[in-house]
Amino acid sequence: MSLKIEIREIAESVAKRFDHGTITKIHVLYGIKKILSSKLSGISEEEIEKHLKNLPSTPSNQIQISEEVQKLLESIRSPEIIEEIARDLAADLIGKEIKVSPSLQSETNPKAPSSNRPALDETFSKLNQLTGLSEVKSQVSKFISVHQANLLRINQGLPKISVGLHCVFTGSPGTGKTTVARYLAEMYFAIGLLPSQNLIEVDRSALVAGYVGQTAIKVQDAVEKAKGGVLFIDEAYSLSADSGVGFGDEAIATLVKAMEDNRDNLAVIVAGYKDPMKNFIESNQGLNSRFQNYFHFSDYSAGELMEIFEKLCESHKIGLDISIKQSVIEYIEAIKPQGELGNARYVRNLFEKMFLNMSHRAASDGQIDLHELTNFQNDDIPAIETKKNIKIGFSPTEN
């Protein structure tokens, strides 16, 4: 993303915040200061905000931009011009003389493409290699295309279409939500929407404290770590589960404010079961207005679970002959995995259980030989339990 696009987006954002219907030069100055905060001395964001507050409030659904300001933005073609614009605007609008750091030229465009950015098609390739998730893959492709189209419009001086970076991922655990969130962070970075592909994963325990005042600090710490990238909140619905009696409400209120304050420098992805997530988003009007993009991760089918199992065997160099494959798929179909069982974690646990049984089988004669650990056999498949809640995994009492 070019610097002039970033400045325009921030100028538009602050205009909306103060209910200004038109982007003016002082909004542009705020945008420059916001991006180059450490490089411009002699003036603060707070000083600029004081002048913004004095402008008349003219609420509008669509922010306008004058021809004069549009030409000013179009003139941004080099670090030297940025310096000149910043000095002139500060002197004319606020009566302040500002100084520009000599290192400005090397850091004026933190989001510009660089050699270490993952290629967008490479990230899409990784996404498409995931088992299943056909609807999610299609949605992600369309979602990124919308952002690319938006960037092109802005670069040509056309109005920005409001499409947020924040997303809601719904579905059972183990259906690929965290993995897709990482890929989405890479895509945001690749097309220049965010300056980093960093993803910070947290849950309720990382955001909510046990006493007044500390929850806000924990949320702010998480946001600070994720700035420039993506904050991924797993089982986010748990934040609203104790509404009115715990500190979840404080966490949500702090998060909503952070999303507004960092709207150009942070994407938040919240994840969890579909119905609880619906209740979570509806629990706070701020959440409801900021989360526009919903992706549902369906449970895997038996065939998809089998494909995941085969990939695990391949990556660990464990062979599967035709009879074993048939036995495993029959096992999966008999279990009829759904919900928490209908996902990749279930398959990983099955794989681990079979490896445990394979190891016991290989050690039964008092000596383990390598050739005994390279191919699964029917005896390695665990028995189907009759209990309602089937648990698969390592257990010292199972054979």
pLDDT confidence of residue 341: 66
> Is residue 393 included in any domain, yes or no?
no
CATH of residue 76: 1.10.1780.10
pLDDT > 90 fraction of the chain, expressed in percent and rounded: 32
Range of the domain at 311: 302-380
**What are the structure tokens assigned to 349, written together?**
């646990």
pLDDT band for position 68 (50/70/90)? Answer: confident
What phi and psi, each to the nearest 5 degrees, are found at residue 268?
Answer: -115, 125
DSSP 8-class letter at 75: T
Same structural domain, 20 and 133: no
Do 137 and 16 have their domain in common?
no
Q: What is the mean pLDDT of residues 143-161?
A: 81
Summarised one tens digit per residue, pLDDT across range 342-374 is: 688 889 989 999 999 999 998 988 888 888 888
**Residue 261, domain member (yes or no):** yes
- Higher per-residue confidence, 173 vs 248: 173
Same domain, 261 and 140: yes
Nearest-angstrom CA–CA distance, 199 and 269: 10
In this predicted structure, what is the pLDDT of residue 115?
34
Q: What is the pLDDT of residue 78?
A: 63
Q: What are the two backbone dihedrals, phi and then psi, of residue 239, each rounded to the nearest 5 degrees?
A: -70, -30
What confidence tens digit (pLDDT) does each residue in 93-150 have? 888 887 766 545 444 444 444 334 457 888 998 999 999 999 999 999 999 988 888 8
Pick the residue with more confidence: 111 or 215?
215
Mean pLDDT computed over every residue of the chain: 83
Residue 166: inside a domain, yes or no? yes
* 270-290: average pLDDT: 90
Do residue 152 and residue 230 come from a single domain?
yes
Last residue of a domain, one of 243, 273, 297: 297
Same domain, 169 and 279: yes
Distances (CA, A) of 297 to 170, 175, 336: 6, 6, 18
Same-domain check for residues 317 and 257: no
Residue 127 sits in the same domain as residue 210 = yes
Per-residue pLDDT at 267 exceeds 90? yes
The reply to whether 170 falls in a domain is: yes
CB 344 within 8 A of CB 133: no
pLDDT surpassing 70 at residue 182: yes
Same domain, 141 and 172: yes
Q: Which residues contact 106 (CB under 8 A, 6 or more apart)?
A: none
Q: At 256, which CATH number?
A: 3.40.50.300
Q: Are residues 180 and 96 in the same domain?
A: no
Look at residues 75, 107, 139 and tell me which one is the last residue of a structural domain: 107
> pLDDT by residue (tens digit) across 18-67?
889 899 999 988 888 887 766 677 888 888 888 888 888 887 777 888 88
* Number of compact structural domains in the chain: 3
| Both tokens assigned to 112 | 């510009």
Residues 202 and 135 in one domain: yes
Which one of 11-15, 22-26, 259-263 scores highest in mean pLDDT? 22-26
Angstrom distance (rounded) from CA 302 to CA 305 = 5
Cβ contact 7:72 at 8 Å? no
Final residue belonging to a domain, choices 265, 297, 329: 297
Residues 51, 31, single domain; the answer is yes
Q: Beta-carbon neighbour count of residue 317 at 10 Å?
A: 8
Residues 71-96: tens digit of each pLDDT: 888 887 666 677 788 888 888 888 88
